[in-house]
Chain A
Amino acid sequence: MMLLGAGLCIIVLSGILARALERRTRAADRAFRWGMLAGCAPGLWAAVSLLVSQSPAPASAGAGAAFGLDPLSAWFLIIVLGVGTTTAIYGIHYLARERPGRRIGTAHLLLAVLITAMAGVVTAQTILAFMGAWEIMAITAYFLVVFEHEHAEVRRAGLLYLVLSHVCIIALVGMFAAWGGGVAGGSFQELAASAVHQRAPVALVLVLALIGFGIKAGVVPGHFWLPSAHASAPSHVSAVLSGVMIKTGIYGLLRVLTLVGPPPAWWAWSVLLLGLASAVLGVLWALAQHDLKRLLAYHSVENIGIILMGLGLGALGSVYHHPALALLGFTGALLHTLNHALFKSLLFLGAGAVLRVTGTREIDRLGGLVRVMPRTAWAFLIAAVAIVGLPPLNGFVSEWLIFRGLLGAGGTAGALRSASAAAAGLALTGALALACFTKVYGALFLGSPREAMVRESAAERGLVAPQLVLAAACITIGVLPILVIPAAMRAAAVVLQGRGAIDDVVAATQAASRISLAALGLVGLTAIIWLVRAGRMVRGGAPVAATWGGAFPTVTSRMQYTASSYAASLLALFGPLSGTHRIVGPTSFQVHTTDPILDRVGRPLWGWLRRSAQGLRGIQTGRIMWYLIYVISALLGLLLYLWLVAAQ
């Protein structure tokens, strides 16, 4: 713990240095880079050594401590520090281009604080420490979202984010209040003990946790703040927000489950169904987007849904006393959390590089970028294959765990069997994600360039190395899942409080080695066929001609299928659910995207709230005397209430 604390201090310090040395740009960048690296190392080391150690996890890290590390915290700490640091280092080059116009040292400092706060959230052991870190995280994230505050839409997105993140803070305060009423010290251990004794408020606690943490994680229908906020932030911050910060919601849910034990069945089922809804709707809405970063943000909604399906499956497993299934579900959820952090931040970093080189985020204006920025293009391809959940990359491994759990539920008895039907929903999600990422990749990197001109092709430099690190992580986990599955299972065992069986771990590691074999087989087969085919190729390169254009003699870039029309036929089949709005003229075709929840539910609700609150305006007189009267009457009312309660 000391190690971690020292590391976090270094991280904050490097942020302060980056801000203080702003005039001396080189020194500031260097201080920030090495400070981040040095700061994340001890924390990572502590977390990794805890996860790989064979000895049983320490029961608690000091009874009274405000912060502590158990395998569950350690797992999330790796995500926070690993991905956070990589993106922060990317941010140095990314923001350096904006140096004359902006105070980028502030952004570095805020990001350092954000990473530290997230590390605090996942290691907090008391209510106060948790909520404190949570609030710091929410606020610094707000400032980072509105970093480009000169645009009105950025300010709007920031406001929406701020409101929603305080809605979830209210829910969390309510949760802890309902729970910790009789707990003196407010440490998590005491909470766990109190949860065992009084079952009555558990339902309330779990519902509030689902609301609070669900909004933070971006679960449909509480997701609508997410796309605009994540799209508005600078790209490397988007990577942290989408890849890491929303996972604190997942962490919160897992931690609450750890403390209350097996939840009621209705809660587990609703988590599974919410996950299914988020996954399918998230990917559908992502498919409709024209803005690259908004598209990626909607994919976070989808992946949170997949994670939530794993979590729901884990909860169901513990409800119906199937520890093996519970372990699979929680492990799948945890592993997908890590994987999503890796490939989603990689995608955002790639989007940032595209933005820097071309100056636009509009998918339909881009094209053929693989020739301009080949390394980003290949890293993006890896991330795209990974996020679709295809072998041999990491997304497949975690989705396989969840699939296996869902299908395994079919082999049990009773109500739990119906959970297996959710596998079809997950399959639909995967197929739609494939449609979405072939669209993005094809439109962005392949084909011939569309309207957008390449502004500075050299801007890719310096943005590549962090992407390669993340891509390498994706490949490693995909080919050698054995490296992470046991660690994820140790973290999942915390949630299960030791109810998992050792057989399951063994079975999973055996299957993991088969997956490695299959992945290597795939690579080997591809190489062999490539070589055999290469033997057939003409020496000196094959002849080159224009693309076959039907009857047209030449193919121009304007004849290419655009990303919008690529997605249109699929979206049309989903009707109003897809949130698209088409305008077909005699020679024109437009598709506009909306967020069905925000536009059909959120805004009307907000309007209604404002209208119905009109009556309250009368109390806002502007005279200080009246305000004092309000305060005194509230005080008197409380006293009266206390007196009445005591009188009973």
Chain B
Amino acid sequence: MQPVHDVLLLLVVLTNFWVLGTTRLSATIRATAVQGALLAGLPLALYPGLSPHILGLAVGTFAVKAVLLPVLLSRAIREAAVRREIEPLIGFAPSMLLGALAVALAFSIAPRLPLPELRTHVLVPVALSTVVIGLLVLTTRSKALTQVVGYLILENGIYVFGLSQVERVPFLVEVGVLLDIFVGVFIMGIVVFHINREFDSLDSARLTELRD
């Protein structure tokens, strides 16, 4: 049978597809919450033995990624009064196909990366594809909230990648979880300023005004 951590990783990819394919923001948030819960389970499955370090990591991840951020995001929806992603740059079906392509690429590239032996060979491709899909959501959706979700997914990908290095580099993952503070700040920005559309700073055309 398949080991538990592999199943968890595959479910992470499925939640990515869920985010790509849904129009409702509430469903998107639910998907990220599920993804957060899956990520919290991952260290436990990857490093059985229940060391306090791993246990703390799991609990912390769950608290931040599966509870805190989704709750904040749902509040943001209420505050900014947005329900649906209306006009994505790339349609939902094409973005899903692009996501599938990203997964295929990740799975074909991952074995060739010069990485040390890992417990599972699914981990790196899942991390890669999660990062790419996060970028995809970040760049193709026009609502600020969905972009925050995209950033969150991107970060989740980095988190998964970091999990492979827990034993070698201490506190790498913990620092990664701390990055979620940024997400919190984004969301608070949305709540406070009632931002509905994308952030102004993403308008790269404005950057040309910076020249002499």
A535 within 8 A of partner (CB): no
Which of under 10, 10 to 19, 20 to 34, or 35 or more describes the interface residues of A? under 10
B91 within 8 A of partner (CB): yes
Complex Cα spacing A209 to B118, Å: 46
Complex Cα spacing A56 to B93, Å: 53
Complex Cα spacing A573 to B91, Å: 10
User: How far apart are A415's CB and chain B's nearest CB, in angstroms?
Assistant: 9
Q: Residue of B at shortest CB range from A577?
A: B94
A541 within 8 A of partner (CB): no
- Over the window 251-272 of chain A, the binary record of Cβ atoms lying under 8 Å from chain B Cβ atoms (1 yes, 0 no) is 0000000000000000000000
- Tell me which residues across on chain B come within 8 A of A573, comparing CB atoms: 93
User: How far apart are B144's CB and chain A's nearest CB, in angstroms?
Assistant: 25
- Tell me which residues across on chain A come within 8 A of B93, comparing CB atoms: 573
A575 within 8 A of partner (CB): yes
Complex Cα spacing A573 to B93, Å: 9
Within 8 A of B (CB), among A552-597: 573, 575
User: How far apart are A420's CB and chain B's nearest CB, in angstroms?
Assistant: 13
User: How far apart are B109's CB and chain A's nearest CB, in angstroms?
Assistant: 13
- Tell me which residues across on chain A come within 8 A of B91, comparing CB atoms: 575
Within 8 A of A (CB), among B68-114: 91, 93-94
Complex Cα spacing A575 to B94, Å: 10
Complex Cα spacing A575 to B88, Å: 14
User: How far apart are A280's CB and chain B's nearest CB, in angstroms?
Assistant: 12
Complex Cα spacing A475 to B104, Å: 41
User: How far apart are A281's CB and chain B's nearest CB, in angstroms?
Assistant: 15
- Tell me which residues across on chain B come within 8 A of A575, comparing CB atoms: 91, 94
User: How far apart are A573's CB and chain B's nearest CB, in angstroms?
Assistant: 7
- Tell me which residues across on chain A come within 8 A of B94, comparing CB atoms: 575
Complex Cα spacing A573 to B96, Å: 14
User: How far apart are A413's CB and chain B's nearest CB, in angstroms?
Assistant: 15
Q: Residue of A at shortest CB range from B94?
A: A575
User: How far apart are A572's CB and chain B's nearest CB, in angstroms?
Assistant: 11
User: How far apart are B108's CB and chain A's nearest CB, in angstroms?
Assistant: 8
User: How far apart are A436's CB and chain B's nearest CB, in angstroms?
Assistant: 20
Complex Cα spacing A284 to B93, Å: 17
User: How far apart are A463's CB and chain B's nearest CB, in angstroms?
Assistant: 44
Complex Cα spacing A575 to B91, Å: 9
Complex Cα spacing A575 to B93, Å: 11
Q: Residue of A at shortest CB range from B93?
A: A573
User: How far apart are A269's CB and chain B's nearest CB, in angstroms?
Assistant: 13
Q: Residue of B at shortest CB range from A575?
A: B91
User: How far apart are B74's CB and chain A's nearest CB, in angstroms?
Assistant: 32
Q: Residue of B at shortest CB range from A415?
A: B108
Complex Cα spacing A575 to B95, Å: 13
- Over the window 119-146 of chain B, the binary record of Cβ atoms lying under 8 Å from chain A Cβ atoms (1 yes, 0 no) is 0000000000000000000000000000
User: How far apart are B93's CB and chain A's nearest CB, in angstroms?
Assistant: 7
Q: Residue of B at shortest CB range from A573?
A: B93
User: How far apart are B102's CB and chain A's nearest CB, in angstroms?
Assistant: 15
User: How far apart are B89's CB and chain A's nearest CB, in angstroms?
Assistant: 12
User: How far apart are A4's CB and chain B's nearest CB, in angstroms?
Assistant: 50
- Over the window 34-61 of chain B, the binary record of Cβ atoms lying under 8 Å from chain A Cβ atoms (1 yes, 0 no) is 0000000000000000000000000000
Complex Cα spacing A575 to B89, Å: 12
User: How far apart are B139's CB and chain A's nearest CB, in angstroms?
Assistant: 18
User: How far apart are A301's CB and chain B's nearest CB, in angstroms?
Assistant: 22
User: How far apart are B132's CB and chain A's nearest CB, in angstroms?
Assistant: 19
Q: Residue of A at shortest CB range from B90?
A: A575
Q: Residue of A at shortest CB range from B91?
A: A575
User: How far apart are B97's CB and chain A's nearest CB, in angstroms?
Assistant: 11
Complex Cα spacing A363 to B93, Å: 31
Complex Cα spacing A248 to B93, Å: 38
User: How far apart are B28's CB and chain A's nearest CB, in angstroms?
Assistant: 22
Complex Cα spacing A437 to B107, Å: 38
Complex Cα spacing A346 to B94, Å: 37
Complex Cα spacing A170 to B114, Å: 45
User: How far apart are B125's CB and chain A's nearest CB, in angstroms?
Assistant: 15
User: How far apart are B165's CB and chain A's nearest CB, in angstroms?
Assistant: 30
User: How far apart are A418's CB and chain B's nearest CB, in angstroms?
Assistant: 8
User: How far apart are A564's CB and chain B's nearest CB, in angstroms?
Assistant: 22
User: How far apart are A136's CB and chain B's nearest CB, in angstroms?
Assistant: 45
- Over the window 4-29 of chain B, the binary record of Cβ atoms lying under 8 Å from chain A Cβ atoms (1 yes, 0 no) is 00000000000000000000000000
Interface pairs A-B: 3 shortest CB-CB? A575-B91, A573-B93, A575-B94
Chain A residues engaging chain B, CB cutoff 8 angstroms:
573, 575
Contact sample, A vs B, 3 pairs, CB 8 Å cutoff: A573-B93, A575-B91, A575-B94
